[in-house]
A and B are shown apart, each in its own frame.
Chain A
Amino acid sequence: MAANLKTAPARPYDVARVRADFPILATTVHGHPLAYLDSAASSQRPRAVLQAIEDYETHSHANVHRGVHALSQAATAAFEGARERVRRFINASSVREVIFVRGTTEGINLVAQSYARPSLRPGDEILISALEHHANIVPWQMVCEQTGAVLKVAPINRRGELEFEAYLKLLSPRTRIVGVAHVSNALGTILPVQRIIEAAHAAGAVVVVDGAQAVPHIPVDVQALGADFYAFSGHKLYGPTGIGVLYGREQLLRAMPPWQGGGDMILTVSFEKTTYNELPYRLEAGTPNISGAVGLAAAMDYVEGLGIEAIAAHEHRLLQQATAELLRIPGIELIGTAAAKASVLSFTMKGVHPHDLGTILDSQGVAVRTGHHCAMPVMTFFGVPATARASFGCYNDESDIAALVRGLNKVREVFG
């Protein structure tokens, strides 16, 4: 992770102040202070995001792109302002490249149905990695069924890293699309997306990056990466649920047929012929999630206020400390030990099913995710039915790690 830090944080990271920004962290759970270690599933929202949504709903709401009245204009300004905020956050070259969607899942499905489906021919290949979230597997399987294209999978090693040489070997003139996670949600692995993209482009393939777990932890510059498509979700970036972004290179988006029809995506409609709107509206049918976009923009302001590098450095310290402390507990095995890792600690405890572990931790106020993390092929690869996963966000601190360790000792106590 440290390799990703461009600049050292200007001032010391004040985690106590960050914690105070998140009202939910004051919750007690079963009589214990909440130790929220499940940000990889969904992060919490700072007051600034809640406030921005409330302000919008209180003072500016109407439908967008429709009315001449004052509120409609205010709503449109808020919504389009949010789009510009997103553009800057990921350094897209134009707001026409920022498509609002429900989340990562919808973004990838949009690419699969609107870019891949019309262009793939039988025998064409889609190449993904073995550590993908189901959201970056199933849409491709569906499009393979629809087009006769073939899904190929680049393997990972026992540390949970992409086997880069094997990936290169799988690239061929038949490879039309490469789909990879920027950061694995189940293992925490940071993938070398820039090198992956360079190789894919050299082979003539287009790359779709699943950035759901990357945007909260890594500065993302879609132009520097060279990504053709980049999808992420607001709710993992301290923003609301139901809003996400699909970035796409304009040249590719322009050639894509709309994937849903309705209002907003048209210029003119008659029963004989309909003409479609410009980008990005052509790919956004229907009334969008306006307050969600406003909340997401506020979340991006918040993250940039803290500094994404500063957040990443803080989380990296926590990850290292938690890793060291967990390894001291008998029977703990880490799943995912890549050299480059972000904010995720997946593990099992010998003789204890992760589900039981999760219940006992919950009884101590410690929220972790247990299960297959929507990455069943990863579980199969490591030969486990499930893992427990602690994941860190900008607001976690040593007290959360201490609570986790206490909780795991409690698990040992119960299961002897």
Chain B
Amino acid sequence: MQLQDLYRDLILDHNRHPRNFGRLGAPARQALGHNPLCGDQLTVFVRLEGEKLADVRFEGSGCAISTASASLMTEAVKGKDRATVGALYDQVHALLTEDGAQPDASLGKLAALSGVREFPARVKCATLCWHTLNAALGEGSATVSTE
């Protein structure tokens, strides 16, 4: 268990200076994500143009892992279409939860999250934003909870 694998410089930087932080007004979609265990709460906003995620922003408060993960996610998905984002979600999920999963080059900066896997109590922090994005893109409930 290596702390420096969890708190990499890129993670700390995105925590200190989250990208795409803020709201998007209507007609953007939004969803609220909540991790009752640690009180993390974030809202993800998405403006769709057809199948494309034309703009993505988030706001809320949380730990360094959830904030950095959300920041990295917004960078990674902006401008991509739904199908690509879905595939990215699957890759990130595998990276965070599957033993021995190696980051694929297509993950880009998201690969910085690979250290989270060694900290099982923190995996939910990193996945919260992705579940929330999913909810914003989906039809169902617009509130997700990690519990």
Q: Which residues of chain A have a CB within 8 Å of any CB of chain B?
A: 30, 352-356, 359-360, 363, 370-372, 379, 385-386, 410, 414-416
Other than A352-B64, A359-B121, give 14 A-B pairs with Cβ distance below 8 A.
A353-B38, A353-B63, A354-B63, A355-B122, A356-B7, A356-B65, A363-B3, A370-B38, A371-B37, A385-B61, A386-B38, A414-B3, A415-B7, A415-B64
Task: Assess whether B1 is in contact with A356, with CB atoms less than 8 Å apart.
Answer: no
User: Of B1, B37, B62, B125, which contacts A363 at CB under 8 A?
Assistant: B1
User: Total interface residues on B, using CB and 8 Å?
Assistant: 19
Mask of B1-41 contacts with A, CB within 8 angstroms, 1/0:
10100110000100000000000000000000000011111
**Inter-chain contacts of A371 with B (CB < 8 A):** 37-39
Q: A353-B64, A359-B6, A360-B3 are in contact. Are A415 and B39 (CB under 8 A)?
A: no
Q: A371-B39, A372-B39, A416-B12 are in contact. Are A355 and B125 (CB under 8 A)?
A: yes
CB distance from B125 to the nearest CB of A (A): 7
- Bound-state CA distance A354–B63 (Å) is 7
Chain B contact surface mostly = mixed
Mask of B116-145 contacts with A, CB within 8 angstroms, 1/0:
000101100100000000000000000000
Which A-chain residue is minimally distant from B122 (CB atoms)?
A: A359
CB distance from B3 to the nearest CB of A (A): 5
| Count: A-B pairs, CB below 8 Å | 50
CB distance from A374 to the nearest CB of B (A): 11
- Bound-state CA distance A82–B1 (Å) is 44
Q: Which of A355, A372, A385, A386 is the most central at the interface, judged by chain B CB atoms within 10 Å of its CB?
A: A355
CB distance from A352 to the nearest CB of B (A): 8
- Bound-state CA distance A359–B41 (Å) is 19
Task: Assess whether B37 is in contact with A356, with CB atoms less than 8 Å apart.
Answer: no
**Inter-chain contacts of A386 with B (CB < 8 A):** 38-39
Task: Assess whether A353 is in contact with B3, with CB atoms less than 8 Å apart.
Answer: no
User: Of A370, A372, A385, A415, which contacts B12 at CB under 8 A?
Assistant: A415
Which B-chain residue is minimally distant from A353 (CB atoms)?
A: B63
**Inter-chain contacts of A355 with B (CB < 8 A):** 38, 40, 62-63, 65, 122, 125
